[in-house]
Chain A
Amino acid sequence: MIRPLSWLLLGLWSLAATAEETLHYPADPEAGTPQQLVIHAALDLPQARPLLEAFHRRHPRLELSYRNLTTLELHQRFLDAPDDADVVLSSAMPWQYHLANDGHALPLESDAARRWPAWAQWRGELFAFTFEPIVMVVHRELIERFGEVRSHGDLLALLDDHAEALAGRIVTYDPVRSGAGYTYAIEESRLSPRYWDLVSALGRARTVLVDTTGEMLEGLEQGRYLLGYNLLGSYVRDAVADKSDLIMVVPDDYALVTQRLAFIPRQAPHPEAGALFMEFLLSEEGQRVIAEQTHLGAMHPTLSGPGTADALREEVGDALRPIAIGPGLLATLDRLKREALLARWRREFQREVPSQR
């Protein structure tokens, strides 16, 4: 059974194992019959706050409770009490998909849901509402010494040519310990067999393996690392905004895109309120808040400009590879699959023989 293992994986997924954080917005008694809305999410408060504020301005009669959890806690909590939350948001796509596939999600019947792009929803139950590319962060020093790195191909060439010079100066997710890193590894290995060349090149360069994007950013800021591979774009944007020596690179050969998935639990205590929030998430208004006040990436089809999927698409063209919301995600959760992939990953990472490239 996948359960015990998925706890482990989920735990590894977390970007920062913080204490439980909550936000609370009381109902405005003058705005109508008060109603409760409980949101459980794996979305940090700085990103969530503007969204919740905008939503509460629109529906002041709702008493809004927001609880930020790690993806592990969120999943565990949902399985323990599936009738606690009205909306569940998480970036752990396979787990969210797993819950919806098992029939835990309530279909959302609304125009907004019907208009939402088919590739970003599943059966009207599960909706992707953000658009976050997986990026590389390059230190200016690296560019000065070795030239630009714009793609996975560039990176592979760089590692092949300067493995010794870069030894210990590259950082990436450890797929063994990080759920996110493991998910990216599976998706990348599906995209191209050359991924394994890259893994063995990373291995030769004695790449440092860490657990979270935060750790990677910290090392990069301090100058310990010259290049970070596979960082979550939405966090990077914030971090590099005021640091001139760090450059965010969305690879132009392919760039994975991860999306946060939201659903209304079938046993939600206040499904109407949950539906209101979902509709807000999918509305032009809510998406504009995401575009303008967060780094999550808005993906409403009519929105364009900074902070939207549209802008990202213009920047890197058709290199974007959103992780498909489909049964393929279930493979990520398969115990044997994980063992098989990680075994291969380790084998490639520890391979000493130079690649034949």
Chain B
Amino acid sequence: MKRGDSLYRRLLAWLLIPLLALGGLMVLQAWVDARRTADRAFDRLLEAASLAIAEQVQWQDDRLWLDLPPAALDMLATDADERVFYSLVDREGRFITGNAELPGDERADAEAGDTLLFRDVDWHGMTLRQGVRRSRLEDWRLRERFEVRVAHSREGRDTLTYELLRANLAYILAMALVAIAVLVVAIRSALAPLTRLRRAIRARDPRTLAPLDLPLPRELAELRETLNELLARMRRVRANQERFIGDASHQLRTPLAGLSARAELALRQDDPARWRDALSAMQATSARTARLAMQLLSLTRLDNPEYRPEPAPLDLNDIARQAVRDHWASCHRRGIDLGVECAPHPVRAQGIDWQLQEALSNLIDNACRYGGRHITLRTQARPPLLEVEDDGPGIPESRRLLVLRPFHRGEEGGEGSGLGLAIVDSIARAHGARLELSQGANGHGLVVRLRFSEENP
């Protein structure tokens, strides 16, 4: 089997890829969540530190004044030893004091109380988390506005983020492993009946055509039924073949046994005239046997599914005329009237020349054999058809299907092989044409009609 073209792989891929994509999304979500949680926790530090600083801001000597509490800065550094920055900015955004001129935050003020804004900023190549507090002096009269900006580097936050993420990742990973394991087991068990079916087929005796009988899920049961139908058809085909072979050998044995008996009888005599009689009888028998063998051969050839010659466009009128030319002499000798009625225009059909000739010659032969005195070949353009009519005894309607089977003769004891109509039937089927048997125009005789399908131009 080709790699990658396996049901198991297909199922696994189609289930695993979305699953993994989903897992990836979950990891991303977990990371975003962890980061947000860590930021929320650490933003409290920025908030507290900015508050501690804001509380120390006063108005002194006509300017903003800050007695910076060192603890406010210590607060911003956790175990991770973050870098710490702060600045105090007045109403107009002028730098009052601090260890870094941190950028401002453009976002609008809160509706009441102090405005607190947090965001990540890039500052001199460092990624910092900055907190901005906009506040006012709570003096007796003076309500001067000012802004405290604090910032620290992200190490503590990142550590917390990774801790949170690690816990989540372990959980997601465990879930993914369980899901994958369940998936693999599920697919295996779903595909198990297929393996069972394969084993059942492989374990069969190659000669047996008995139906498969094993319990399978619905989808595979359909496959099993289809297989069984195929097997049944094959059984029928084989039965037909066996019967045909049996009939054929029987048909060939009879004239051969006759020949042998006749020869033996003639050998016991001394009279050359007797020998001559015997030889002419033997010649007739062997000619009939040869014809029988030929018919068997052509029927086998027609039934061979491997042999499918390409149909070519041809004119049915030509076929009919040719058949009359071929048989006219022999019919004339036997006093049979053979005629042809062609359509005025060429009748186009797709077909195989020699097969149609064979069919017509079989039909003419049959008509002669079974007592026809007038045989008429007819063609018609719409629908394209070939017709052979005789004025013989005809075939009763009840037996018209039976006569199509090999070795079934119209009447017992006739001298025909019983293969003629079977051959015609095979040829009709090979051409996709319908073979119709009906009564002649005036109530007796037989009309055999090959009706080609309309699509054939």
Contacts and interface: CB of A to CB of B under 8 A. Distances in A.
B74 A327 contact: yes
A326 B77 contact: yes
Interface residues of B, number: 27
Interface of A: 1-2, 98, 101-103, 122-123, 186, 190, 324, 326-337, 340-341
Contacts of B86: 330
A329 to B, nearest CB: 8
B365 to A, nearest CB: 108
Nearest to B100: A102
Nearest to A101: B83
Interface string B70-95: 11011011000101111010000001
Interface stretch (B61-69, B163-171, B177-185): B61-69
A1 B95 contact: yes
B96 A334 contact: no
- A122, A332, A336, A341 — which one has the most chain B CB atoms within 10 A of its CB? A336
B407 to A, nearest CB: 101
A327 B95 contact: no
Contacts of B96: 336
B443 interface: no
A336 B126 contact: no
11 contacts: A2-B97, A123-B81, A186-B70, A190-B70, A327-B73, A328-B70, A330-B99, A331-B68, A334-B99, A336-B67, A340-B66
A330 B84 contact: yes
Contacts of B85: 101
Contacts of B332: none
A328 B84 CA distance: 10
B125 interface: yes
Nearest to A187: B70
B236 to A, nearest CB: 86
Given A327-B84, A333-B99, A103 B68 contact: no
Contacts of A333: 99
B99 A103 contact: no
A103 B124 contact: yes
B68 A337 contact: yes
- A1, A98, A327, A335 — which one has the most chain B CB atoms within 10 A of its CB? A327
Contacts of A335: 97
Interface string B90-118: 00000111111100000000000000000
A98 B99 CA distance: 8
A101 B151 CA distance: 12
A241 to B, nearest CB: 36
B126 A331 contact: no
- B67, B96, B126 — which one has the most chain A CB atoms within 10 A of its CB? B67
Contact of A101 (B70, B71, B84, B97): B84
A328 B99 CA distance: 12
Contact of A340 (B65, B77, B124): B65
B73 A103 contact: no
A1 B87 CA distance: 10
Given A327-B74, A334-B99, 18 more contacts: A101-B85, A102-B83, A102-B100, A103-B83, A103-B124, A186-B70, A190-B70, A327-B70, A327-B73, A327-B76, A327-B84, A329-B70, A332-B70, A334-B98, A335-B97, A336-B65, A336-B68, A336-B96
A192 to B, nearest CB: 14
A328 B71 CA distance: 6
A1 B97 CA distance: 6
A334 B68 contact: yes
A336 B77 CA distance: 22
A336 B86 CA distance: 13
A98 B390 CA distance: 125
B73 A328 contact: yes
A331 B70 contact: yes
Nearest to B75: A327
Q: Which 5 A-B pairs have the closest CB atoms?
A: A328-B70, A327-B73, A331-B70, A327-B84, A340-B67
Contacts of B88: 336
Interface string B38-72: 00000000000000000000000000011111110
A7 to B, nearest CB: 15
Nearest to B124: A103
A334 B96 CA distance: 10
B17 to A, nearest CB: 41
Contact of B73 (A2, A102, A331): A331
A285 B335 CA distance: 139
Contacts of B98: 334
A229 B95 CA distance: 37
A336 B58 CA distance: 11
Nearest to B57: A336
Contacts of A2: 97, 99
A103 B126 contact: yes
- B81, B83, B96 — which one has the most chain A CB atoms within 10 A of its CB? B81
B316 to A, nearest CB: 99
Nearest to A334: B68
- B69, B86, B88, B99 — which one has the most chain A CB atoms within 10 A of its CB? B99
- A98, A102, A328, A341 — which one has the most chain B CB atoms within 10 A of its CB? A328
A123 B80 CA distance: 8
B59 to A, nearest CB: 12
A332 B68 CA distance: 9
